[in-house]
Structure 1
């Protein structure tokens, strides 16, 4: 009697897409968008270019997916910081998260959102534009949270939520650049602590 079981449609991917994306994220984090060649990416991911294109699209699409993974993983400290009960605690958690993530053992130093677009030429314009949007989204979220703090009386009525958000983003980006240059966690936490001394009183 012949078997009526049908063969599976299509071929199995043969690799763990989640793990491959994690490895791609680390390559982009360490080398930036333009510095990460397709050979670097596929070698780290353990797949062929054909498999990469089939699973993730082109390099630009892969970078966007890697940035999403970074946002939901290593950079998730930003979203958690916004949930803190006071504006000062938001700022403290945000900068502490920046220090921790940019100096984390076993991960590239610095921030994918900063390194990803440094010295980007024409071929990296798409990635650079995506990162501008990414950073602006982070700043906007902080600004909105600080507007709420003003409304709730947690920040003084004359506090400037836009300026405070940009201040935090500028300090965090500077921390990332310093970390990529080899500055250690303890020193960078001192920078974060110094920045918070200028925080407006409730």
Structure 2
């Protein structure tokens, strides 16, 4: 029987998430991870696998932490409430001082060398899944008559995702909560009416 782990894997996963969130996938070295988590490389590998496997676990954890406002918005009764839930939810999430600035999905793996290609592919896939979830919700709103029949729901979901990502980039650049809310207010004024 192997020796029990001498560290809390859930706490270590949160620490790794925050490190990747601050430094990005490629900006986070194995040395950074072992120092931040206070464990050796063999312990890291035994608990989480390699860096890429750890990053995937981190993305799952990040999804769980951010999914509450996204799911609440997707469950909203109208398309406008969906948009408001997403946009103002993003403002609240990115204004929360307990979180590193910005969005792990956005700056965690957007650019980099070939070494980070799989991480970029995974974050792109997850961003695409969100866009598809929003598009499906807007299609349902269109069927219900809540969104105009001529509305391009794919483009409208892209618009919402672009606003969400823009809010994340602004937060990472130091925008204050009131600035983020002003951006959200403008985005909601631009929301199409029937």
- Partners in 2 of 1:159 and 1:102 — Cα distance? 29
RMSD: 1.1
Which consecutive residues of structure 1, in runs of 5 or more, have no partner in the other structure?
1-8
Kindly state the Cα deviation for residue 156 of structure 1 after the two structures are TM-superposed: 1.5
Instruction: Find the aligned partners of 1:158 and 1:17 in 2 and give their Cα distance.
Output: 50
Asked if 1:63 is matched to 2:55, the reply is: yes
Rounded Cα–Cα distance in structure 1 between residues aligned with 2:27 and 2:78:
40
Distance, in Å, in 1 between the alignment partners of 2:68 and 2:107 is: 17
Matched residue SS, 1:73: helix
**Cα distance in 2 between the residues matched to 1:104 and 1:147:** 32
Residues 16-37 of structure 1 show CA distances to partners (whole Å, capped at 9, x for unaligned) of: 1111000000001110000111
In structure 2, the partner of 1:50 is: 42
For the structure 1 residues 178 and 42, does the alpha-carbon distance in structure 2 shift closer, same or farther, using more than 3 Å as the test? same
Would you say 1:108 and 2:100 are equivalent positions? yes
2:26 counterpart SS class: helix
In structure 2, the partner of 1:152 is 144
Q: Is the 8 A contact 2:111 2:120 kept in 1?
A: no
Unaligned runs of 5+ residues in structure 2 are none
1:174 to 166, 180, 183: 166
Q: Give the TM-score normalised by the residue count of structure 2.
A: 0.96
* Residue 189 of structure 1: how far off its partner (Å): 1.1
Verify the 8 A CA contact 1:60 1:127 in the aligned structure 2: yes
Query: Hey, what's the Cα distance between the residues in 2 that align with 1:150 and 1:103?
Result: 32
After superposition, the C-alpha distances for 1:113-160 in whole angstroms (9 at most, x for unaligned) are 001113321111111010100100000000000000000111121121
Structure showing greater Rg? 1
Superposed structure 1 runs of 4+ greater than 2 Å apart:
none
> 1:33 is paired with a residue of what secondary structure?
coil
Kindly tell me the number of residue pairs found equivalent between the two proteins: 194
